[in-house]
């Protein structure tokens, strides 16, 4: 029986930044904080941003012993590594209205802040009662739009990371830890 991802996926990883155990501890801690902070909120809507937030969201809501409802959105932001136009396109919208709801957006990583600043404004415009954000990772040095982030797992430098939901060209989302990739991976990419 295989006891790890070796050798097929681990071979692409340069450095592990956060192990499975470190992530689990952090997610537990965030879940407990959010649960305490929302004890007056009857009706909490947790909105996951597809696809990167899926592993984090799945673990986070199970660390929140309170009633929640789930919904999902998929967005893509225009622009590339060197220039961000700041436009966000909705690929999949929520199934239900956020009007009058207390919303917790769950995201894998906040980079420029373009995606989250857009979503917070969108949900407020749609009449949400409150909008809070939980992100597993944040790169504060990359911020182009101010975002009020309520819950942050780890703050990292300007590094490209994969695993636990985060991808490179669609791959590595199922690594159970977060790490950086070897340079060779980028030069032999499919994209």
Position 48 contacts Mg ion (CB under 5 A): no
Determine the Cα–Cα distance for residues 132 and 28; give it in Å rounded to an integer. 18
111 catalytic, yes or no?
A: yes
Closest contact distance (angstroms) between CB of 66 and Mg ion is 26
In the complex with ligand IMP, the residue whose CB is nearer, 59 or 107, is 107
Residue 186 interacts with which of ligand IMP, Mg ion, none, CB < 5 to 8 Å by class: none
> Which is the catalytic residue, given 37, 59, 108, 111?
111
Nearest to 157 by CA among 171, 134, 136, 139: 139
Burial of 51 (0-12, 13-18, 19+ CB in 10 A): middle
| Alpha helices for 39-153 (secondary structure H) | 54-62, 114-125
In the complex with ligand IMP, the residue whose CB is nearer, 134 or 161, is 161
Helix (H, G, I), strand (E, B) or coil at 50: strand
Position 179 contacts Mg ion (CB under 5 A): no
Position 55 contacts Mg ion (CB under 5 A): no
Closest contact distance (angstroms) between CB of 107 and ligand IMP is 6
Residue 111 interacts with which of Mg ion, ligand IMP, none, CB < 5 to 8 Å by class: ligand IMP
CB 44 within 8 A of CB 38: yes
Which residues here bind ligand IMP, judged by CB under 6 A? 52, 77, 107-115, 160-162, 166-167
Nearest to 52 by CA among 81, 75, 23, 34: 75
Residue 112 interacts with which of Mg ion, ligand IMP, none, CB < 5 to 8 Å by class: ligand IMP
Beta bridge partners of 151: 134
Closest contact distance (angstroms) between CB of 67 and Mg ion is 27
CB 108 within 8 A of CB 153: no
User: Which one among 52, 55, 163, 179 touches Mg ion, defined by CB under 5 A?
Assistant: 52
In the complex with ligand IMP, the residue whose CB is nearer, 100 or 146, is 146
């Amino acid at each position: 029986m295989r006891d790890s991802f070796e050798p097929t996926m681990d071979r692409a990883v340069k450095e592990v930044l956060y192990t499975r155990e470190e992530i689990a501890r952090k997610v537990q801690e965030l879940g407990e904080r959010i649960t305490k902070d929302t004890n007056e909120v009857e009706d909490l809507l947790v909105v996951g941003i597809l696809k990167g937030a899926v592993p984090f969201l799945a673990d986070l809501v199970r660390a929140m012993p309170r009633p929640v409802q789930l919904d999902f959105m998929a967005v893509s932001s225009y622009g590339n590594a060197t220039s961000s136009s700041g436009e966000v396109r909705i690929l999949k919208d929520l199934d239900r209205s956020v009007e009058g709801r207390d919303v917790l957006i769950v995201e894998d990583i906040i980079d420029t802040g373009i995606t989250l600043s857009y979503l917070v404004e969108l949900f407020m415009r749609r009449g949400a009662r409150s909008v809070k954000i939980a992100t597993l990772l944040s790169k504060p040095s990359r911020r182009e739009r101010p975002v009020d982030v309520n819950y942050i797992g780890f703050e990292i430098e300007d590094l490209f990371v994969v695993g636990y939901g985060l991808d490179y060209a669609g791959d590595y989302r199922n690594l159970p830890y977060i790490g950086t990739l070897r340079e060779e991976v980028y030069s032999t990419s499919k994209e």
